[in-house]
Amino acid sequence: MSLLYSVRKHAETDERGRVVALIFSIIDRYLFREAAAASFAVFLVLFVVLAANRSIDYLADAAGGEIPAEAVAVLMGLQVLRYLGVVVPAALFIGMVLAMGRLYRDSELPVLAACGVGPALITRGLAYLAVPVAVLVFVLSVYVAPWASYQADVYSEQAARDVDLGAFQAGQFVGGGDIGTLYAGDSAGEGELREVFVYVQDADREVIVRADRAVQDYRPETGDRYLVFGDGYRYDGKAGQRDWTVTRFERHGLLVDTREAVDVERDREGTATAELIGSDHLADIAEVHWRLSMPAMVIVLTVLAVPLAKAEPRDGRYGKLLSAVLVYVAYFQLLTTGHEWLEEGRTPAELGLLWVHVAALLAALAWTRYRFGGLWPVRRSGSLGN
């Protein structure tokens, strides 16, 4: 059942005074449903892009043997939680613009405007969606993001200590760290490598090991990691000299890494908001204002979406998409600049980033007045709004 049909049906059965209140209730629910559906679709797209972008780096680390393959999913999930506070406002804003753009294209909002439904009432309907989302973003930015940032650092350190030979890809040279250079021609599964070649720089001498197979022996109590070779040769010497020592072995262990467990220090992004609030450091104050800016941005973007989405019936369905992206980028960039100014002391700490939101809100109200002639349109004689 369409919105206008529902309004007409109730208008025929109820008293006129009650109809107006009922119309607005129906409009609120209709705008909520349309904006929520569009915003959720945009969120899914942005979520996939964010997850794919974050997973690329971790997959590269796993392929290079820096972290175990099973750690990729956990680290990716923590990083997604870290950035959801920025993604959700963007998804909501773009979704609102797309939803209302469709309503303008189908002439639904112009008809409602003729009945006295102005931008203030449209904003009210969108606010039923924006306010809960702002609360969600507040929780994500103030509590979840710092926790996820710190947990990602802790888990990365733990994963780097627990990495095993199963993370190495057979047929590829892997270099870096104390292990020097490692190559395995084949893998037998369960962490065992075949046709292994290892090069290690030991002080002013070089060590080369060639073996038929190798497994890792990790000792968590000390953090030592050994490569245990079977059936091979070890060559010790110095480049350019002839005093190389060749040793044949059936079993040989080589210490390739000593990584003791360390306490991961919290950086500013991983510090709890309650701890930052009591700080006098400008960078800490700027971080607090940045986190609080995300839910505030949700409310301001909702007001901005109303004049931005206004379109003519012949405009394309996605005609306002580029404009919405540009508006969001400009707003976010202004917040970023304000954050840098606050860190450098160019703006008062008491003012924080409030000036950015106030400026954006005033611009939204001025834009609304320009596009609609005011928040409450003049109702025509004989219309439903009288």
Least confident of 148-157, 175-184, 267-276: 175-184
Distance CA 175, CA 266 (A): 29
137, 298 Cβ separation under 8 angstroms: yes
The answer to whether residues 69 and 125 belong to one domain is yes
Total tally of structural domains belonging to the chain:
2
Section 149-153 average pLDDT? 85
> Domain range for residue 125?
3-161+266-372
Residues 8 and 150 in one domain: yes
Model confidence at 217: pLDDT above 50: yes
* pLDDT higher than 80, residue 24: no
Do residues 329 and 93 lie in contact, with contact meaning Cβ atoms separated by under 8 Å? no
Q: What's the confidence (pLDDT) of residue 130?
A: 93
pLDDT(381) > 50: no
* 30 shares its domain with 152: yes
pLDDT at 382: 39
**Residue linked to tokens 């103030």:** 142
50 is written with which tokens? Answer: 């964010």
> Quick check: is 136 in a domain?
yes
CA 213/CA 209 separation, integer angstroms? 11
Q: Residue 47 corresponds to which tokens in the numbers above?
A: 């979520």
State how far the Cα of 301 lies from the Cα of 361, in Å rounded to an integer.
8
pLDDT higher than threshold 70 for residue 222? no
Averaging pLDDT over each range in 131-140, 202-211, 213-222, 259-268, which range is the top one? 131-140
DSSP symbols for 198-246 = EEEEETTEEEEEEEEEEEEEEETTTTEEEEEEEEEEEEEE-TT-S--EE
* Averaged pLDDT, 115-132: 85
The reported pLDDT for the residue numbered 20 is 46
Which of 65-79, 93-107, 131-145 is most confident? Answer: 131-145
Q: What pLDDT is attached to residue 275?
A: 87
Q: Within 10 A of 235 (CB to CB), how many other CB atoms are there?
A: 14
Higher pLDDT, 374 or 2: 374
User: In whole angstroms, what is the distance from residue 88 CA to residue 308 CA?
Assistant: 19
Q: What average pLDDT does this structure show over 37-44?
A: 94
Q: DSSP character for 375?
A: S
- CA–centroid distance for 84 within its chain: 4
Higher pLDDT, 22 or 265: 265
- Please say if the pLDDT value at position 73 is more than 60: yes
Q: Is residue 27 part of a domain?
A: yes
33-47, 234-248, 287-301: least confidently modelled range: 234-248
**Residue 316 confidence (pLDDT):** 60
SS3 269: coil
Q: How far apart are CA 131 and CA 234, in angstroms?
A: 68
Q: Which of 226, 258, 290 is the last residue of a domain?
A: 258
152 and 185 co-located in one domain: no
Between 318 and 37, name the one with better pLDDT: 37
**Residue 315: DSSP 8-state:** S
Tens-digit pLDDT profile for residues 315-350: 666 667 888 899 999 999 999 999 999 988 888 888
What is the distance between the alpha carbons of residues 214 and 372, in angstroms, rounded to a whole number?
Answer: 74
Range scoring the smallest mean pLDDT among 3-12, 205-214, 312-321, 338-347: 3-12
Q: Is residue 380 part of a domain?
A: no
Residue 386 lies in a domain: no
Most confident of 22-36, 101-115, 204-218, 282-296: 282-296
What does the DSSP 8-state code read for residue 386? -
Report the pLDDT value the prediction gives residue 309, as an integer from 0 to 100: 84
Pair 156, 75: CB distance under 8 Å? yes
Flag whether pLDDT at 95 surpasses 90. Answer: yes
Does the residue 89 lie in any domain?
yes
Q: Are residues 146 and 288 in the same domain?
A: yes
253 & 276 share domain: no
Residues 303 and 195 in one domain: no
pLDDT of residue 155: 77
In a domain, 130, yes or no: yes
Q: Are residues 271 and 254 in the same domain?
A: no
Please state, rounded to an integer, the average pLDDT across all residues of the chain.
78
Residue 22 has pLDDT above 60, yes or no: no
CA angle 150, 154, 156 (to 5 degrees): 115
Residues 52, 187 within the same domain:
no
